Amino acid sequence: PDATTSTPVAKVSQYACQRRTTTANSNKIFTDAFEVLAESYEFNEMEGQSLAFRRAASVLRSLPSKIQSLRDAESLPFLGKHSIAVIEEILQCGFSMEVQKILSNERFKTLKLFMSVFGVGLKTAEKWYRKGLLSFTRGLFPTGFLHYGDISRAVSKAEAQALGNIIDETVHAITSDALLTLTGGFRRGKDFGHDVDFIVTTPEMGKEEHLLTAVIESLKHQGLILYCDYRASTFDMSRLPNHKFDAMDHFAKCFLILRLDGSRVEGGLCGAEGDGRGWRAVRVDLVSPPMKQYAFTLLGWTGSKQFERDLRRFAQKERHMLLDNHALYDKTKRELLAATTEQDIFAHLGLQYIEPCQRNA
């Protein structure tokens, strides 16, 4: 082949933490299809296949341009026979028959609807489905239905900003040296999210949990709390990091539904102003790690989920280390590695630093 016409393609890493993935996804037509397949496998408890499609989607999201032919896809990591066949079908006719079939499947549609309710996972959705509940009946599931319309609507950047201001005022009225950080999808530069995630902490050792409960109390007094699920800390420094991604972290946290007034939002509320209420309900997560664990929590809560999974997999497989939201443990040296910034953690792992806006894996 003529060396002047063939462009050398940089090898794509099998780890999302060695790829730079912005929110600009050139391969949405393929990744949307893969996510449907991943979800469908998940609903059928075929975790291996589900993860395979999530990984394949994540690889495609990191590519700088759209896949034009099968040749572009064949050498990529995690693109197996099945995902290649789906790409081929989409390249040929613009859609995948298999995905269309799933999207019109009664069980799939129903489980997806049930799981869109805050607090409802696959187990509950399955149970309801088996009972023959094909759609919601008001009053049947009071907790999940709390503000269902509002919280199933996306949160805008301006709304996230307004909530940040409210929580910032609240936190600093309690302790002037408190630290509030926006994390989750909005820290990665997303324009919309399903919730808003914050880390709240204080340099005063051991006071962070008290700070969180004081914040909740104050929000309550301001009449802003519509729902609060508070989880006390079960953090234990003597435990080694748990590299399994799905394990929840042990810091004090709360899953909230807050009332956000339109008057606080620059440019007004996102679509909800029409019904004349002038406010909307928004899902907010607050987590309070001790300052010493701040960097690990920030890295863990910034996401994306696929990025976090691969950070942990990389640490384990390539470095013989255990990483979670609390700590990084070197199994060879048998010691915990301290970090005050995310950069420290990437450096410990021997990884190039990846900016939050490049973690949309």
Residues that bind ligand ATP (CB under 6 A): 184-185, 190, 193-195, 197, 248-249, 300-301, 303-305, 308, 325
Residue 270 Cβ vs ligand ATP, minimum distance, rounded to whole Å: 14
Nearer to ligand ATP, 225 or 298 (CB): 298
- Among the listed residues 62, 156, 184, 328, the single contact to Mn ion using CB under 5 A: 184
The neighbour count for residue 165, using CB atoms within 10 Å, is 12
Residue 21 Cβ vs ligand ATP, minimum distance, rounded to whole Å: 12
| Residues in CB range of 319: below 8 A, 6 or more apart | 330, 349, 350
Nearer to ligand ATP, 67 or 342 (CB): 342
Separation between Cα atoms, residue 174 and residue 189, nearest integer Å: 29
Terminal-to-terminal C-alpha distance of the chain: 34
Helix (H) / strand (E) containing 254:
strand 252-261
Spacing of C-alpha 361 from chain mean position: 10
Nearer to ligand ATP, 170 or 304 (CB): 304
Query: Contact at 8 Å (CB) between 145 and 138?
Result: yes
Helix axes 106-115, 122-130, angle to 10 degrees: 130
Task: Report what 304 binds from ligand ATP, Mn ion, none; CB cut-off 5-8 Å by kind.
Answer: ligand ATP
Residue 230 Cβ vs ligand ATP, minimum distance, rounded to whole Å: 13
Nearer to ligand ATP, 159 or 249 (CB): 249
User: Which of 346, 97, 147 minimizes the C-alpha distance to 259?
Assistant: 147
Task: Report what 248 binds from ligand ATP, Mn ion, none; CB cut-off 5-8 Å by kind.
Answer: ligand ATP
Helix axes 28-43, 81-93, angle to 10 degrees: 130
Task: Report what 58 binds from ligand ATP, Mn ion, none; CB cut-off 5-8 Å by kind.
Answer: none
User: Which of 29, 194, 28, 32 minimizes the C-alpha distance to 102?
Assistant: 32
User: Which of 282, 115, 279 minimizes the C-alpha distance to 198?
Assistant: 282
Binding of Mn ion by 197 (CB under 5 A):
yes
Nearer to Mn ion, 32 or 285 (CB): 285
218: cis peptide before it, omega within 30°? no
Query: Contact at 8 Å (CB) between 361 and 25?
Result: no
Phi, psi of 73 (to 5 degrees): -100, -25
Nearer to ligand ATP, 53 or 235 (CB): 235
Is 195 annotated in a binding site? The answer is yes
Binding of Mn ion by 195 (CB under 5 A):
yes
Residue 5 Cβ vs ligand ATP, minimum distance, rounded to whole Å: 41
Task: Report what 325 binds from Mn ion, ligand ATP, none; CB cut-off 5-8 Å by kind.
Answer: ligand ATP
Is 285 annotated in a binding site? The answer is yes
Separation between Cα atoms, residue 339 and residue 345, nearest integer Å: 6
Residue 285 Cβ vs Mn ion, minimum distance, rounded to whole Å: 4
List active site positions: 195, 197, 285
Q: Which residue is nearest to Mn ion (CB)?
A: 184
Is 249 annotated in a binding site? The answer is no
User: Which of 299, 310, 245, 302 minimizes the C-alpha distance to 16?
Assistant: 310
**Contact mark string toward Mn ion, 249..288, x via CB under 5 A:** ------------------------------------x---
Residue 168 Cβ vs ligand ATP, minimum distance, rounded to whole Å: 19
Task: Report what 232 binds from Mn ion, ligand ATP, none; CB cut-off 5-8 Å by kind.
Answer: none
Binding of Mn ion by 300 (CB under 5 A):
no
**Left, alpha or beta for 223 (phi > 0: left; psi -120 to 50: alpha)?**
left
Specify binding-site residues: 195, 197, 285
Binding residues (CB under 5 A) for Mn ion: these are 184-185, 193, 195, 197, 285
Binding-site positions for Mg(2+) read 195, 197, 285
